[in-house]
Amino acid sequence: MLPKLNHAQLSNQGKLCIVFDHSVGNKALALDTVNYQNESGQNFTITNFKYYIGQVQLNRPDGTYYKSEGYHLVQEDEAESKKIILDNIPQASYTSVSFIVGVDSLHNCSGAQSGALDPTNGMFWAWNTGYIFLKLEGKSPASPNPGHIFEYHIGGYKSPENSIRNISLPFENPLAIDQTKYSLIIRADVSEILKNPNKIDLSKTSTISDTRNAGIIADNYSDMFSLKEIRNEK
């Protein structure tokens, strides 16, 4: 594990807002109303999209870092959930942001929890299987399911069926955190979940809701994120 910043480095602190911007290819994500097309030419709409982000970390070139505790449930139908406010960041120069998609083993095994990890959020299977890390649901004429629905409920934290994925996004130039407020815009391209590295045919793989088969989708969402923009909000 990288060393955390020491107390002397905590004397001056800044703030950063991380914003997740959802798209499907070059189109903005809109639930229920917009038709998209996958790599196989299959049309689909999206009805639900949500996922867990945790262990958000800003990294410095000397190996020290700032780490935010807790988990965030990012939901397309709740605008405020797509914003993560990081307070009390030590003023310094940072070269990348990293986080996980999923929920670590400790929190999967900690019983009833509150906030983003409250089971009432509909992202918990059962006490013995833990959290759903990502949900993608929609409809497609290609799906053989009743109502032509497709759904991917992805989770699993035990090897070899571990669907936690580590994301690291380098900054083009070092980001100097000071008393200026910045917004870090991270693009999440939902189309990646269906195509890379595993091309998903909705007529053959229209439902995944078990840890055994979740890896093909987890491998796809591991490269769903990219750094879109850093805004100075001063």
Residue from 184, 192, 3 nearest 96 by CA: 184
Query: Do residues 211 and 152 make contact, with C-beta atoms less than 8 angstroms apart?
Result: no
Query: Do residues 74 and 103 make contact, with C-beta atoms less than 8 angstroms apart?
Result: no
* DSSP letters for 54-122: EEEEEE-TTS-EEE--SEEEEETT-GGGGEEEEEEEESEEEEEEEEEES--HHHHTS-S--GGG-GGGS
Reported as a pLDDT band with limits 50, 70 and 90, residue 12 is low
Residue from 89, 90, 211 nearest 157 by CA: 211
* DSSP letters for 7-54: GGGGSSEEEEEEEEEEEETTEE--TTT--EE-TTS-EEEEEEEEEEEE
Tokens in use for 57?
């970390």
In the chain, how many domains are there? 1
Asked if residue 1 is part of any domain, the answer here is: no
Asked if residue 205 is part of any domain, the answer here is: yes
How confident is the model at residue 39, as a pLDDT?
A: 93
Asked if residue 191 is part of any domain, the answer here is: yes
How confident is the model at residue 234, as a pLDDT?
A: 67
Amino acid at 187: R
Express as a percent the part of the chain with pLDDT over 90.
Answer: 82
Reported as a pLDDT band with limits 50, 70 and 90, residue 89 is very high
Asked if residue 14 is part of any domain, the answer here is: yes
Sequence-distant (6+) residues with CB within 8 A of 72 are 52, 53, 54, 56, 81, 84, 116
By DSSP bridging, strand 149-155 and strand 207-208 are parallel
- Render pLDDT for 177-210 as a digit per residue (tens, 0 to 9): 988 889 999 999 999 999 999 999 999 999 999 9
User: What is the extent of the structural domain holding 113?
Assistant: 7-232
Under DSSP, is residue 227 helix (H, G, I), strand (E, B) or coil? strand
Query: Do residues 13 and 77 make contact, with C-beta atoms less than 8 angstroms apart?
Result: no
Reported as a pLDDT band with limits 50, 70 and 90, residue 2 is very low
> Is the previous residue joined to 197 through a cis bond, with omega within 30 degrees of 0?
yes
Asked if residue 2 is part of any domain, the answer here is: no
Residue with tokens 């949500």, as numbered in its chain: 50
Task: Report yes or no on whether pTM surpasses 0.85.
Answer: yes
